Copies of this chain bind each other. A is one copy, B any other.
Amino acid sequence: MSFSEDNLTGFILALSSSGFIGSSFIIKKKGLRRAAAASGVRAGVGGFSYLFEPLWWLGLITMIVGEVANFVAYAFAPAVLVTPLGALSIIVSAVLAHFILHEKLHQLGILGCVMCIAGSIVIVIHAPQESPITSVQEIWSMGTQPAFLLYVGSVIVLVFIMIFHCVPRWGHTNVLIFTGICSLMGSLSVMSVKALGTALKLTFEGNNQLIYPETWFFMLVVAICVITQMNYLNKALDTFNTAIVSPIYFVMFTSLTIIASVIMFKDWDDQSGANIISEICGFIIVISGTILLHTTKDFERSSSFKGGYASLSPTLSPVSPTLSTRLCNGNGESMDHDQENVPPSEEVCFRRQEMY
């Protein structure tokens, strides 16, 4: 538990980011409900009355604050620490939804929350120290080391193969194609966001990095990666059920980001085998908890308020997989897929089935 000050800052930022993002959903949903009650038209079926609802705007601002905190967290702590903590935002929104929106949390959902928290604690305890970075050139040299260039090269080749070969053939039948493209690009997004964030952090500390072309290059990479990622995430969510896409995307995104970070920032080089194994177990536990929460949350929520997260720009959230699937899912149409796979009668049966 020898936590460096930077790690602690990053950890607190990541935690508060999850708090903001998690509660933003609740605030916005309350705003949307109020707007729907006032106008009689729901966002999912084309209403725009929520734009006149201050609560909705408060929710949007809360979410932007959370996203910024998440972005800044990457500048302080390793991605191996920050990325999995994103799962806590689901817990915050699930717990708040239970108490404020009275969307009853499934008993197995509570178990999922407990797992996410326990797994996060294991990750935090075993998180690596990051060696302090003093200039953007240092990141540049990390990003151009052979091992990481090999990773970037493989990702680009894979993404091209998937876009031009796999998408036309299996894109609309196999959920792994679109989510795979998103996750591969997502891992590059996080790395470039981390590079850019560190450069901006140094600039704010008085060590101007904007004079170096590397900073601008990273900015370009962020833009390209995020746009590609968001484009294919939209396609994934338009084609498949959110309940399928969300957990698969979270698992692949988190895993690839950690692999990328371990290669580029050598997070695990100074760590003992026991630490690394504990961290991997922590990831697996957080991922399992997220899947459990997603699976059981959908049983409860499916009919309560469709299209609730409407009309948010999907490009807002490149680095928080739990958020971005929700953001992109706001056009009302794609939500209809929720019902395709699960006939309503069986859903009711499930909800009536008590666990004990």
Contact = CB atoms under 8 A, between A and B. Distances in A.
Q: Is the interface of A mostly helix, strand, loop or mixed?
A: helix
Interface string A275-303: 00110011011001001100100010000
Contact of A285 (B119, B241, B354): B119
Most buried by B among A115, A291, A292: A115
A118 B288 contact: yes
A243 interface: yes
A99 interface: no
A114 interface: yes
A285 B342 contact: no
A221 interface: no
A2 to B, nearest CB: 9
A281 B122 contact: yes
A120 to B, nearest CB: 9
Interface string A345-356: 111011011111
Contacts of A356: 241, 243-244, 295, 341
A277 B285 CA distance: 15
B350 A284 contact: no
Contact of A350 (B244, B277, B295, B353): B353
Contacts of A119: 281, 285
Contacts of A118: 281, 284-285, 288
B121 A288 contact: no
A125 interface: yes
A297 to B, nearest CB: 12
A1 B281 CA distance: 15
Contacts of A121: 277-278, 281
Given A125-B278, A278-B122, A341-B354, A291 B349 contact: no
A173 B191 CA distance: 56
Nearest to A287: B114
A268 B272 CA distance: 21
A216 B61 CA distance: 71
Interface residues on A, range: 35 or more
Nearest to A284: B118
A299 B118 CA distance: 26
Contact of A349 (B125, B274, B349): B349
Interface in A104-124: 108, 111, 114-115, 118-119, 121-122
A301 to B, nearest CB: 15
A273 interface: yes
Interface in A318-356: 341-342, 345-347, 349-350, 352-356
Contacts of A355: 295
A277 B241 CA distance: 38
A111 B278 contact: no
A346 B352 contact: yes
Given A122-B282, A341-B354, A349-B350, 4 more contacts: A1-B277, A108-B292, A118-B285, A119-B281
**Cβ-closest 6 pairs across A and B:** A349-B349, A1-B274, A118-B281, A118-B284, A350-B353, A125-B274
28 contacts: A1-B274, A1-B277, A111-B291, A115-B284, A115-B285, A118-B281, A118-B284, A118-B288, A119-B285, A121-B277, A121-B278, A121-B281, A122-B122, A122-B281, A125-B277, A125-B278, A241-B356, A292-B292, A295-B356, A299-B353, A341-B354, A341-B356, A342-B353, A346-B352, A346-B353, A347-B353, A349-B349, A349-B350
